[in-house]
Structure 1
Amino acid sequence: MGKIMLEVNNLKTKYVTRFNESVYAVDGVSLKLEEGKSIGIAGESGCGKSTLALSLMGYYFAPLHYMEGSIIVDGKNISEMTPDQVRKTVLGTEISYIPQAAMNALNPTQKIINFIEDVIHAHDPKMPKNMIYDLARERFEVLNLPKEVLQKHAVELSGGMKQRTVIAISTILSPKVLIADEPSSALDVTSQKMVIKMMRDLMVKGFIKSMIFITHELPLLYNVTDDIMVMYAGQIVEKGTAKEMVFDPLHPYSKGLMGSIIVPEAGTRDVKLTAIPGTPPNLKKPPAGCRFAERCKYAQPACKVQSIEEMHMDDGRMYRCILNQNQLKEVENHG
């Protein structure tokens, strides 16, 4: 095992509504991310992916609240820090976050170089502007972004170019962990490919040490990440290698999720697409048992009342189900 860049243990966070109701959006998530590795997080809308991304930064502000658990970045426990400490010593250098639709957050009246100056001056107020420009120019050129972009305004850039520029700005301080939430959504296929290539280059060239890639577009995860975690109703229900998760998922929800997409690989031509019936549970009052039980065709009476723990296999694979691996294979074969 390589050096651990990010270790998360039993992380629980919640939203508190204006009616003082709690929504348990991240419930007991644990993961380890090694240097040089990437993890993809998949799941349908509302399962908690984006909330998990926010929670992993250790930077909490209403309505999101930390409950318990630890977030350790390169040996440093950031879950014990104040928001001000996290902002000054963690964000940008230890962890960088690219939110959904980040390209729309660029101020149209500022030049791109001004954004970079703001990011760097937040950590090093004394760095001269000419040094910042040289650093930005070199980084942009290495990432195949024209240096001329630095002197442009956001409105002068296409959607794909804006997204790649945002990624370059977000990683200008070479963070150890990059969390990217739907970085290629709302882009055409060509722009998506360029964004994915850029993120691979960031890893290969050592500008980032590790990556968490969140998307609902599962074929992207197969081509980008080493491992995939499937999230449902605030919990991780399965984790495995990208190949295992796409071609041999164990958990009934993972099977349904993978069966609802087209994977452009040999052997999938005649596979029929399926839909998962029902809707996710209300996380204001999570079910006592398996959160997928109401939608699972293999559910047993015990599934709805018994707390379902994570099952860890010798090869590092994990799933959360009352059935063991052989039973899952058997019920699937008897369909």
Structure 2
Amino acid sequence: MAMLNVEDLRVYYSTPLGHVKAVDGVSFEVREGEVFGIAGESGCGKSTLVHSLILRKPPMVHMGGRALFKGRDLMTMDVRESRKIRYTELSIIPQYAMNALNPTKKIKDIVWDLAREHGRTDREEVEKLLRERLEMVKLSPKVAEMYPVELSGGMRQRATMVVSTLLNPDLLIADEVTSALDVTTQRVVIELLHYFMEEGIVKSIIFVTHDLALLDKIADRIMVMYAGKVVEIGPTEEVINEPSHPYTQLLLNSLPRMGVQYKKQKLKGIPGYPISLLNPPKGCRFYTRCPYALDKCPHVEPGLAKVSEEHYAACHLLGGED
């Protein structure tokens, strides 16, 4: 059962030079009970995509398409309705989560402000729940009495996760939540997200990252984005072990592998630079960097070709519909 259905979504940024097509015709679904991974290099549109589901502020502009969350279109919700479901049904751990907490308030006051906005009236009950959740993420209940600046980076990350999930949202968006953390703390965060799912605190997760190796450990399915477009989508095992799009292949080859020494196999970067999304080409947006580009790639946009039952990739080499 799909909790979120995104259909041909287009979200641009308005600038004096024109519209930056950050998310340009993206479609996917997130099912109940799954972790859905979104991957791609910086500037591919993945963070714009998930933030447009939560809150759109200028210069971000919705240009078309739908995002049906439990049957309601997030793109047409008014401010009041959107605020009502935020944190209770749909929540986000922001990209710079360690700096997301108000430094002038104690953790308990931050949580109380959030709970009160959503109709909670018993502060004692809310603070009791906060202490329980802090213990869940291996933090002392005393953290409730502390200011964010008194916490280490890893502690602030976990405290932010508690705040974002305190009201048991159905869908949690984790946007680059491990990017500023050491490997040990990354593992703790991944385990906590799994725990939230197992305990029913959240029902589904969208996990956004540039690191496909992380998604291999947490995601059920993966969507790879490039320059505002979906280039590949499918079950994690297939996308990681049998990537079909040249970009996905190059992205995986740029990552270090366990047990492989640098002397034996050097890491390979992706040649060239991302295109400008102010005036992207009519055809495939990856053709300028693709080692397998065909004559029609600059002129004809490839459709998603079926690789297997749930695995699709947008590449002319696969014979997708134009």
TM over 0.5: yes
SS in 2 for 1:117: helix
1:57-87 Cα shifts (integer Å, max 9, x gaps)? 2x21101011111111122222221233212
Instruction: Identify the residue that residue 312 of structure 1 maps to in structure 2.
Output: 306
CA distance in 1: counterparts of 2:211 and 2:304, whole angstroms: 25
Counterpart of 1:107 in structure 2 is 102
For residue 265 of structure 1, report the CA deviation from its aligned partner. Answer: 7.1
Q: Does 1:129 align with 2:126?
A: no
* Cα distance in 2 between the residues matched to 1:246 and 1:275: 17
Matched, 1:95 2:90: yes
Q: Quote the sequence identity (%).
A: 43
Out of 185, 196, 202, the position equivalent to 1:202 is: 196
- Structure 1 residue runs of 4 or more that deviate by more than 6 Å after TM superposition: none
CA change 1:274–1:325 in 2 (3 A) is: farther
| Structure 2 partner of 1:13 | 11
User: Partner amino acid for 1:292?
Assistant: F
Deviates more, 1:301-310 or 1:229-238: 301-310
Tell me, yes or no, if structure 1 residue 75 matches structure 2 residue 66: no
User: 1:56: which partner in 2?
Assistant: 53
Residue 234 of structure 1 pairs with residue 228 of structure 2: yes
Q: Is the 8 A contact 1:309 1:320 kept in 2?
A: yes
**What count of residue pairs does the alignment treat as equivalent?**
320
Kindly indicate whether residue 159 of structure 2 is the aligned counterpart of residue 176 of structure 1.
no
Once the two structures are superposed, residues 255-291 of structure 1 have per-residue CA deviations (whole angstroms, 9 ceiling, x without a partner) of: 110110013279x996552221111111011110000
1:110-144: per-residue Cα shift (whole Å, max 9, x none)?
Answer: 110111111111111x5121111122122222333
- Contact kept, 8 Å, 1:60 with 1:83, in 2: the verdict is no
1:140 pairs with 2:137: no
Q: Deviations over 1:227-277 (max 9, x none)?
A: 1111100011001222222221010011110110013279x9965522211
String of CA shifts for 1:75-113, please: whole Å, max 9, x gaps: 2222221233212x2211121111111211222221101
What's the counterpart of residue 255 of structure 2? 261
Q: Is the 8 A contact 1:251 1:321 kept in 2?
A: yes
1:119 and 2:117 aligned: no
Matching residue of 2:25: 28
User: What residue in structure 1 maps to residue 159 of structure 2?
Assistant: 165
Deviations 1:194-216 (A, max 9, x none): 11111111111110110111111
Distance 1:265 1:81 in 2: 50
Q: Report the residue type matching 1:10 in the other structure.
A: D
Say which of 258, 269, 274 aligns to 1:275: 269
Counterparts of 1:144 and 1:325, CA distance in 2: 50
The 1-side partners of 2:128 and 2:70 are apart by 28
TM-score (norm 2): 0.94
Query: Which 5+ residue runs of structure 2 have no aligned equivalent?
Result: none
Q: 2:60 & 2:257 partners in 1: Cα distance?
A: 35
Q: Give the TM-score of the pair, scaled to structure 1.
A: 0.90
Contact 1:7–1:73 (CA under 8 A) maintained in structure 2: yes
1:84 lines up with 2:42 in the alignment:
no
1:245 lines up with 2:239 in the alignment: yes
Alignment check: 8 A CA contact 2:238 2:311 kept: no
1:277-327 Cα shifts (integer Å, max 9, x gaps): 11111101111000001111111111111121112344111110112279x
2:36 to 36, 39, 44: 39
C-alpha separation between the residues in 2 aligned to 1:149 and 1:295?
48
* AA in 1 matched with 2:10: K
The one-letter amino acid of 2:160's match is: V
Distance 1:145 1:66, change over 3 A: same
Q: Which runs of 5+ in 1 are unaligned?
A: 327-335
CA root-mean-square deviation: 2.0
Is 1:40–1:212's contact at 8 Å kept on the other side of the alignment? yes
* 1:152 correspondence with 2:150: no
Check whether the contact 1:143–1:201 (CA below 8 A) recurs between aligned residues: no
1:79 aligned counterpart, secondary structure: coil
Distance 2:308 2:288 in 1: 30
Hey, what's the Cα distance between the residues in 2 that align with 1:224 and 1:46?
23
C-alpha distance in 1 between matches for 2:167 and 2:97: 18
